[in-house]
Amino acid sequence: MIRTIITALLLAGAAQAQTADQRLKAVYNAEWQWRLAQTGQVEDGLDTRPGPRLPCVTPACQAERQRQWQGVLDQIAAIPDAELSPAERLNKAVLAESLRAEVVGIKWRSYEMPINSDVNVWNYLPAQVPFRSVQEYRNYISRMRDIPRWFDEHAANMRSGMKRGFTPPAVTMKGRDATLANQIKPGKDSPFYAPFTLMPASIPAFEQDQLRAEAREVIETIVNPAQTRMLAFLRTEYLPGARASTAARDLPDGVAWYRDQVKEFTTTDLTPDAIHQIGLKEVARIDADLRAAMVQSGFKGEYKDFLVFLRTDPQFYARTPDELLGFSSYVIKRMDGKLKDIFTTLPRHRFTLRPVADAIAPTYTSGRGGLDACYMNTYDLKSRPLFMLTALTLHECVPGHSHQGAMALEAPAAPPFRRQTYFSGYGEGWGLYTEYLGRELGMYRNPYEEFGRASFENWRASRLVVDTGLHLMGWSRDQAIAYLEEHTALARHDIEIEVDRYISWPGQALAYKLGEMSIRKLRSEAETSLGAGFDLRRFHDTLLGLGSVPLPVMEAEMRAWMAREKVRPAVAR
């Protein structure tokens, strides 16, 4: 007993002797290792890669995560901000908000609705590119063997959600089962087999043959039967049992749940009513930009006729997938030549451009950017106007999400958890800001492309109106579709995909415009306060160098940067 007391006293004394920075680092480093074990990830230099298993998603595992993360929140709350260095104070703020959202999500049992019209639990299981080593291939095969358990756990959670009416709206899920059905293909035809079609030469031929044979067997005997069972569950139980209503307020305690979703995705304390009003004002402002672009184009006629012209004239649409990808590639290359004008530091990590996989393309968004690849949707080319593709490519690829991800990955002195943390307001706000930046850089070569940019901006502003309208104000799906048709030049197919996304993923769509407005406000403040000393490149470097942060943290950090810039010697500028 005495020995136990002495040990406790020694440990307490050691804890007191640690600095606040050391205490915080110990907490978040331990949490990071625990998180890797929970999610089945393995460290790979600055990044992480999937390991040999998929995460556990049972209620018991979720409860354990909630307990663990709440414990971490309690630990870091006990470390005074005033005793932390600026860098560690930032790390604490990021960790606190990211874990707060995780704890709240588990409290609401959000894991009982793991699919919606945009996100599901099967699309990202097939890898699309070759791996680098035998171990990575073996890990991939091991994950394929784990798919039956993964699907069974999710199906059990979804059944629990069905019992309490916590499902996506049925109207938004029409046809989404086809994305899973399209993955059920034999052996070499399966999307799961794609990484084995071209393997690194560093792997001996005999070992390549062994891995290929094992992969085909696992696909035929484990993956496809598991997918077939999941598909049957979707078609016979889940989709027929999805709720008829479309508003988040109709879910169990739905108004409070929606407000928490708004908090998670915007990282602000704005109310849905306030966001709705911001959206109405922004839409009215951008409507004027759209009409100005129409006048500049020389079109003679009413605005509604101009929209019909843009949606139907063949000159605005690619004839082949390669033509669309080539257009996007040219935007990327043109932008490469301008990066030196807006950054002083460029990342070494490079991304590639790929088409969205055929299996998911019919219900997928127009494009999506990530660290290793930027994806453009080449399905239904008549719904992919080229005059919008410049803005989309800037947003998703460079200097948008793919570039942004590389900058965050290579940011100096960032702890590992920071490289894996993502806040939609910051990330999507930057993506939309890059579309505006393209205007300053001369990326829009004619009034049609400028119209496409303004249409994309109004699309994001309209989301503030539509998302809040749908979930709290009684808007119907048709009303939301009509609003987007009036205020954007998006094709009907895209509009329906987008509205279904907003209905089934409440709050997520609010992040883009609010984040972009925050960045533009900060830039305006910096230009005013620094005057001739303002350097746009340093502003962008600092903003992206933060990594993903909540919007209030971003604003505080950038204002601190402005204060430092004011006293920086002119010779150093």
* HSE (side-chain half, CA atoms, 13 Å) at 111: 24
Sole residue written with tokens 């019992």: 163
Determine the pLDDT at residue 164: 97
Question: Going by DSSP bridges, is the β-strand pair 41-44/47-50 parallel, antiparallel, or unpaired?
Answer: antiparallel
Determine the pLDDT at residue 360: 85
Determine the pLDDT at residue 222: 98
**End-to-end CA separation in angstroms for the chain:** 63
Determine the pLDDT at residue 5: 44
Burial of 524 (0-12, 13-18, 19+ CB in 10 A): exposed
* Residue of 324, 342, 289 whose CA lies nearest to 457: 289
Determine the pLDDT at residue 71: 98
Taking the C-alpha atoms of residue 553 and residue 458, their distance in angstroms, rounded to an integer, is 26
Locate 312 and state its tokens: 């139907």
Please say whether the beta carbons of 436 and 457 come within 8 A.
Answer: yes
Question: Going by DSSP bridges, is the β-strand pair 373-376/352-355 parallel, antiparallel, or unpaired?
Answer: parallel
Q: What is the DSSP secondary structure assignment for residue 344, as one 8-state letter?
A: S
pTM for this entry: 0.89
Taking the C-alpha atoms of residue 495 and residue 445, their distance in angstroms, rounded to an integer, is 25
3-state secondary structure 229-245: HHHHHHHHHHCCCCECC
Taking the C-alpha atoms of residue 42 and residue 303, their distance in angstroms, rounded to an integer, is 54
Q: What is the largest CA-CA distance in the chain?
A: 92
Taking the C-alpha atoms of residue 73 and residue 86, their distance in angstroms, rounded to an integer, is 19
Element spanning 42, H or E: strand 41-44
Low-confidence ranges of the chain (pLDDT < 50): 1-14
Taking the C-alpha atoms of residue 434 and residue 421, their distance in angstroms, rounded to an integer, is 21
For 310, residues 6+ apart whose C-beta sits below 8 A from its C-beta are: 316, 385, 387, 448, 451, 489
Where along the chain do its domains lie? 17-108, 134-244, 256-515, 516-572
458-497 in b/e burial notation, b at 16+ Cβ within 10 A?
Answer: bbbbbbbbbbbbbbbeebebeebbebbbebbbbbeebbbb
Determine the pLDDT at residue 39: 87
